């Protein structure tokens, strides 16, 4: 099997991923793809087709939906639990300045666009016998890398240590190297990073499973190994591959259909309707003058209030041809129908807002489909991030629980005064613990989510002491 062989599930979904990337990228990308998304009308030459494409506006419903749904997840901060030794590291989890929160936002966007991504937890190789101070100086710490669905070209799983686990992952990377022709330039070349769980030595003898990483580059005639490393954790190799798949249902390696694919198809159908509508309007919007009963050499060549038309003939008829058919009206109705269809598929922010006031609960019920789907996606991403943080904690050789929970409270529903009064009465009467009161006040957006119950109690006591 050649190293650039693609998994059959990759081949099945690759066109859908490309379509999603193009639709989210917007109008310029859609216009660039030409006939892939807008078929040429019969008889159009290249210039006519080019004008047809340029007149067609692309309504960015899918991109707006991605932005809107992502904003709902990060409307409130994620809950993060980790040892104190990892707090500073969380401000830069990629070694290039990306914080844990920003990393999570990128993962959610990948989930919304193609519903698949991967996290590689890695650690730079340390100097032999390096002290802890030297490791800090060399920036020796674990880091995360996001791999997009299109770059995870092959994977395999099998039975190792009496459980099914990932045994092989192949990742396509583009790297920048110095140009061979220009001493001041650079070239982008392709390489493959292979993550293997090795279970036998070169002679075929069984060995304890260990994780190995290899990098392949093309030398002009074949793919060859240019780097190989066995990452160590506390001086010992890992017995698993620290690569985590992220999908809408969890961390399984199965490939799922992009959750917004139906919306993207509707978005492209709307684009084709707009193209026909603009094309029809272009040829019918302006009246066309006509003259009957005049020889061609006597026909007027200009029109306007300062131009005089005259003819010696008494059988001359002049007028303006104007469009009176219903074709464009039908296209207008199709456009409106497709915009409503897109709203039903997830682009709720495209639907016109109701003029009358609605209760927050009523709004939440109208959006229940998107909310349940988004909650599932947020929980799956939280699971993947928690697994990645656990691996990083082990590489830090730290102790303590780690977890990251993304927000699933998407619709702002502030607590009403009556509920606040009842909660306070229950707490003052001894029927409600302060921890439960604090949690309810946070959910009701009375207290900021980053304030713990201990913080609130300490501030209350301080203020009570300071009051006369």
Q: What percentage of the chain reaches a pLDDT higher than 90? A: 41
| 3 state DSSP class of 362 | helix
Q: Out of 203-217, 240-254, 345-359, 453-467, pick the least confident.
A: 345-359
For the segment 364-420, what is each residue's pLDDT rounded down to a tens digit? 444 444 567 788 889 999 999 999 999 999 999 998 999 999 988 876 666 667 777
Nearest to 100 by CA among 108, 412, 164: 108
Q: What is the pLDDT, as a whole number, of residue 162?
A: 80
- Out of 93-102, 246-255, 430-439, which region has the weakest mean confidence (pLDDT)? 430-439
Least confident of 136-150, 201-215, 326-340: 326-340
Q: Which residues, 6 or more positions from 363, have their beta carbon under 8 angstroms from its beta carbon?
A: 411
Amino acid 450: pLDDT: 66
Average pLDDT, the chain: 82
* Confidence bin at 464 (pLDDT 50/70/90): low
Rounded to 5°, the CA angle 94-99-100 comes to: 90
d(CA 251, CA 107): 13
Q: Tell me the two tokens of residue 58.
A: 């692309």
Higher pLDDT, 228 or 128: 228
Q: pTM of the entire structure?
A: 0.77
Residue range 8-47, pLDDT digits in tens: 999 999 999 999 999 999 999 999 999 999 999 888 899 9
Q: What is the pLDDT of residues 37-82, one digit of tens each?
A: 999 988 889 998 999 899 888 988 899 889 988 988 998 889 999 9
| Torsions phi, psi for 357 (to 5 deg) | -70, 145
Residue 392 is predicted with a pLDDT of: 96
Under DSSP, the state recorded for 151 is G
- Reported confidence tier of residue 226, pLDDT bands at 50, 70, 90: very high
pLDDT (average), residues 229-253: 91
| Domain boundaries, given as residue ranges, for the chain | 291-322, 417-468
Top pLDDT among 354 and 445 is at 445
In the chain, the N- to C-terminal Cα span, in Å, equals: 81
300: confidence class by pLDDT, cuts 50, 70, 90: confident
> How does residue 321 score in pLDDT terms, banded at 50, 70 and 90?
low
Tell me if 239 sits within 8 A of 375, measured CB to CB.
no
The contacts of residue 375 (CB under 8 Å, 6+ apart) are: 408, 410
Taking residues 290-298, report their average pLDDT.
Answer: 77
d(CA 349, CA 343): 7
**Joined tokens for residue 235:** 């001086």
Q: Are the beta carbons of 79 and 450 closer than 8 angstroms?
A: no
Q: 243-246 and 79-81: which strand pairing?
A: unpaired
Who has greater pLDDT, 311 or 215?
215
């Amino acid at each position: 099997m050649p190293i650039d062989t693609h998994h059959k599930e990759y081949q099945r979904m690759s066109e859908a991923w490309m379509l999603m990337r193009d639709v989210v990228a917007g109008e310029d990308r859609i216009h660039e793809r030409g006939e892939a998304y807008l078929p040429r009308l019969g008889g159009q030459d290249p210039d006519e087709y080019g004008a047809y494409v340029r007149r067609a506006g692309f309504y960015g419903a899918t991109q707006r939906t991605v932005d809107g749904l992502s904003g709902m997840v990060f409307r409130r901060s994620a809950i993060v639990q980790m040892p104190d030794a990892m707090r500073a590291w969380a401000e830069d989890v990629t070694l290039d300045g990306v914080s844990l929160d920003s990393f999570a936002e990128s993962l959610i966007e990948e989930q919304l666009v193609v519903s698949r991504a991967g996290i590689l937890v890695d650690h730079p190789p340390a100097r032999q016998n390096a002290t802890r101070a030297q490791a800090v100086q060399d920036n020796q710490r674990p880091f995360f890398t996001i791999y997009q669905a299109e770059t995870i070209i092959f994977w395999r799983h099998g039975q190792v240590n009496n459980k099914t686990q990932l045994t092989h992952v192949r990742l396509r990377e583009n790297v920048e190297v110095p140009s061979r022709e220009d001493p001041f330039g650079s070239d982008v070349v392709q390489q493959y990073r292979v993550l293997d769980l090795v279970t036998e030595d070169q002679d075929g003898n069984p060995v304890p499973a260990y994780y190995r990483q290899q990098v392949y580059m093309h030398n002009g005639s074949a793919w060859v190994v240019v780097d190989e490393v066995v990452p160590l954790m506390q001086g010992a190799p890992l017995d698993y591959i620290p690569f985590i798949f992220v999908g809408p249902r969890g961390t399984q390696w199965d490939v799922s259909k992009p959750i917004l694919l139906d919306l993207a198809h509707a978005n492209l159908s709307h684009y084709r309707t707009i193209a026909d509508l603009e094309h029809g309007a272009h040829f019918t919007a302006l009246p066309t003058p006509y003259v009957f009963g005049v020889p061609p050499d006597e026909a007027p060549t200009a029109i306007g209030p300062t131009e005089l038309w005259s003819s010696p003939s008494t059988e001359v008829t002049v007028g303006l041809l104007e469009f009176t058919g219903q074709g464009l009206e039908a296209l207008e109705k199709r456009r409106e129908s497709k915009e409503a269809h897109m709203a039903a598929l997830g682009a709720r922010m495209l639907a016109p807002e109701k003029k009358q006031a609605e209760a927050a609960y009523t709004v939440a019920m109208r959006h229940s489909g998107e909310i349940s789907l988004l909650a599932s996606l947020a929980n799956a991403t939280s699971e993947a991030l928690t697994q990645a943080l656990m691996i990083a904690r082990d590489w830090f050789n730290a102790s303590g629980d780690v977890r990251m929970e993304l927000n699933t409270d998407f619709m702002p529903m502030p607590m009403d005064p009556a509920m606040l009064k009842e909660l306070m009465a229950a707490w003052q009467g001894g029927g409600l613990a302060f921890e439960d009161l604090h949690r309810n006040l946070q959910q009701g957006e009375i207290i900021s989510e980053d304030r713990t119950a201990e913080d609130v109690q300490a501030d209350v006591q301080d203020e009570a002491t300071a009051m006369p």
